[in-house]
Amino acid sequence: MLALLWQWLIEPFAEFDFMLRALAGCIALSLSAPLVGVFLMLRRMSLTGDAMAHAILPGAALGYLVAGLSVEAMTIGGLLAGGLVVILSGFVARLTESGEDSSLAAFYLISMALGVMIISVNGSSVDLLHVLFGSALALNDAALWLLGSVTSLTLLLLALLYRPLVMECLDPDFLGSVSRMGPVAHIAFLLLAVLNLIAGFHAIGTLMAVGIMILPAITARYWTNRLSHLLMISVVLAMFSSLAGLLVSYHLGWPTSPAIILTLGVCYFLSIIAGHRSGLLWRYVRRAHLQA
């Protein structure tokens, strides 16, 4: 029994350095991205994360085509592209009658199409797949340093801005009346979202990065409504899914990034059924208890 557990759970990481690197990178991402996802969910901005994930694509694609698998070039390009889309969408929303959500949707769709076009015209199908779906099993030292740095910065800024972020989620008008930290917290939070999506892009690709940010937060909501518990459960779910996805990918030969996100999907559907706060089974049990 112990030999079987070693073979299935420990041996891939003990025998292969690329598996250990992939685990380290995914764990680092799991410590920060789900925390940002919780605040996006509480602000009803879950789809904004998806928009920003697609918005970084043309910048990352240009960096990839210019410098190859250069973490620095792709990160700078993605950061510039994501920041430009966020700024332009906010600018258009304020100058016109268009809502911020619709302007952001327009810019991210244009940005995504531009990124795919850049790669398709100047690269290959392999290049496109790498940018869209990532390469968790090929993380190098530079990528791990980036993931660790983004995680550290995220934890630090969230600790410093925790109170204004919570107040902005609950009542932004009240925050604006008692403090000038609202705009600072909002801009810093959007920057953290872009940085975590760029970090996730290096690990699991631009199409999958938003999954490890949003799915743990949505899933945790079925188990608790306390913010501190939401943050902890989302991180645990992301870590578990990263480990399980890597093991499934290793033993079954499945693509790593989809395996991680599909593991999160399984957790989500199980939570819909059995979640302690609002799962279907608990709702049925409570209803039966009240009727009795």
pLDDT at position 292: 54
pLDDT of amino acid 272: 92
Instruction: Tell me how many domains the chain contains.
Output: 1
Structural domain boundaries enclosing 270:
2-291
What pLDDT, on a 0 to 100 scale, did the predictor assign at position 69?
66
Give 98-118 pLDDT, tens digit per residue.
Answer: 666 677 777 777 877 887 777
Q: What is the pLDDT of residue 33?
A: 93
* Predicted local distance difference test score (pLDDT) of residue 216: 94
CATH of the domain at 157: 1.10.3470.10
Which pLDDT belongs to residue 129? 62
* Cα separation, 70 vs 16, whole angstroms: 23
CA distance 161 to 274: 33
Upper half-sphere CA count for residue 145 (Cβ side, 13 Å): 7
pLDDT at residue 143, as a whole number: 84
| Cβ contact 197:81 at 8 Å | no
The tally of CA atoms less than 13 A away on the side-chain side of residue 112 is: 14
For residues 172 and 194, give the distance between their C-alpha atoms in angstroms, rounded to a whole number.
Answer: 22
Enumerate residue ranges in the chain where pLDDT < 70. Answer: 1, 46-47, 68-69, 90, 93-94, 97-101, 119, 122-134, 172-178, 285-292
Neighbours of 33 (CB within 10 A): 33
How far apart (Å, rounded) are the C-alpha atoms in residues 251 and 59?
Answer: 34
Please count the CA atoms within 13 angstroms of the CA of 164 that sit on its side-chain side.
Answer: 19
Q: How far apart are CA 252 and CA 288, in angstroms?
A: 42
Would you state the pLDDT for residue 290? 56
